[in-house]
Amino acid sequence: MNDILQLKILNNTVQLYIEVFGFILVVLIIKRIISKYLAGLLFRLFTKKEKQFRRQAFIDLIVSPLDAFFITFIIVITLDKLAMPEILQVKIYKATTKDLLDGIASIALIITFIRLCIRFVKYAAMIFEEKANLTADQSDNQLVIFFRDFFKVLLYILGIMLLLRFTFHYDISKLVTGLSIVGAAIALATKESLENLIASFIIFFDKPFTTGDLVKVQGFTGNVEKIGLRSTRIRTDHKTFITVPNKQMVDTILDNITLRTQRRAEVKLEIDLSAGIEQLRKIIPAIKTLLQKDTIENSTVFLSDTGKNAHIISIEYFTTMQQNISEFNALREEINFAVIELLNKNGVELAAANTDVVVKQKE
């Protein structure tokens, strides 16, 4: 029996073949158990105890690529124990068979490793997206997607550089130097695009506005529908769709109408000069009483001017922001009708002939 085990086949003993392929077979049988155990260790290492409910999601994402990386690693280091048979020691172009096999092993290890790292990035993005969904601010979600894709690209680049270094034995320091020079040239050529990209980061982190906000910029007023890496898309109040470069959104004066604490309304009453002082003193307190509503936070009514054409009563009031624009306009209409009724009741005429009320209102 011992003679059979020591029998050499293709430069290796039968015993060594049994040990190597037996070990690989055992690992293939129990690899899922080992992978789940390793995934559990990684989960406890990177995750707090109170977040155990995410364990299954983590394992579902990590186990499959961890399986592939683990079994690839075991096969590579185990087969390395076998001596290369002389019959297979041939040279193809400038590479030997051993070089080709080493290259294939390196490619398999690097690909499985990068795939495993990408799954870690996906899990981290899933956690941050959960937190972002708890807020009404949609820019958080866009930021998570952006950084998820950004890190995935970095990992792909890292994988390519590792392949060049360990598979093709290329000196990547020269490649990095060349890329830096090319990168500088590209940066100069794409200056405006880089400025817009930097501006997108400012928007994401400083948050002067978010998706859904009503803003006024460059003379346009509308709702922000999308914040991209280069530009911001706005649906204007005329229902047109405009694209504004992010640099302009950051560099120009931007009015975020959604963040207003109150809505403002103004009325100018031009009272005919025939109205007496007692009538004016009676009308002003009555108008103040009209403005005592739950939806009006503060108001001002006073005789602001008088002259040869009319007495001017200025009315200004601020409403709560719980109202939408339709409710705000309905309130303004209600107050205007009430003022007209009050003037008619007290026999006060407006300066303009055949006109019930002359008003100048601003939102």
CATH number at residue 329: 3.30.70.100
Position 137 in a domain: yes
Q: Do 218 and 292 reside in the same domain of the chain?
A: no
- Residues 6 or more apart whose CB falls under 8 angstroms from that of 64 comprise 119
Q: Do 160 and 65 reside in the same domain of the chain?
A: yes
Domain that holds residue 101: 2-184
Position 198 in a domain: no
Strand 12-13 relative to strand 8-9: parallel, antiparallel, unpaired? antiparallel
Q: Do 117 and 170 reside in the same domain of the chain?
A: yes
The last residue of a domain, from among 258, 278, 299: 258
Helix or strand run (H / E) with residue 104: helix 97-133
pLDDT of the chain, 363 residues: tens digit per residue: 666 777 777 777 878 888 888 888 888 888 888 888 888 787 777 665 545 557 777 888 888 888 888 888 888 888 888 877 777 677 777 777 777 888 888 899 999 999 999 988 888 888 887 777 776 666 566 677 777 887 888 888 888 888 888 777 777 776 666 666 655 555 555 567 777 778 877 887 788 888 888 888 988 888 888 887 788 899 988 889 999 998 888 888 888 888 887 888 899 989 888 888 888 899 999 999 988 888 888 899 999 888 878 899 999 999 876 556 778 888 889 999 999 999 999 888 888 744 444 444 444
- Residues 6 or more apart whose CB falls under 8 angstroms from that of 209 comprise 203, 215, 224, 249, 254, 256, 258
Total domains in the fold of the chain: 3
Q: Do 252 and 332 reside in the same domain of the chain?
A: no
Q: Do 17 and 124 reside in the same domain of the chain?
A: yes
Within 10 angstroms of residue 203's Cβ, the number of other Cβ atoms is: 21
Q: Do 252 and 267 reside in the same domain of the chain?
A: no
Q: Do 215 and 143 reside in the same domain of the chain?
A: no
Position 193 in a domain: no
Q: Do 32 and 165 reside in the same domain of the chain?
A: yes
Q: Do 125 and 166 reside in the same domain of the chain?
A: yes
The last residue of a domain, from among 258, 286, 320: 258
Position 362 in a domain: no
Q: In what order do the strands lie in the sheet with 220-227?
A: 241-245, 231-236, 220-227, 214-217, 255-256
Q: Collapse the DSSP code of 62 into the 3-class scheme (helix H, G, I; strand E, B; otherwise coil) and give the result.
A: helix
Position 66 in a domain: yes
Query: CA 174, 177, 178 angle in degrees (round to 5)?
Result: 85
Q: Do 267 and 293 reside in the same domain of the chain?
A: yes
Position 201 in a domain: no
Q: Is 170 left (phi over 0), alpha (psi -120 to 50) or beta?
A: beta
Position 141 in a domain: yes
Q: Do 253 and 270 reside in the same domain of the chain?
A: no
CB-based contact 58:35 (threshold 8 Å): no
Sequence letter at residue 219: G
Q: Do 43 and 111 reside in the same domain of the chain?
A: yes
CATH number of the domain that residue 229 is part of: 2.30.30.60
Position 43 in a domain: yes
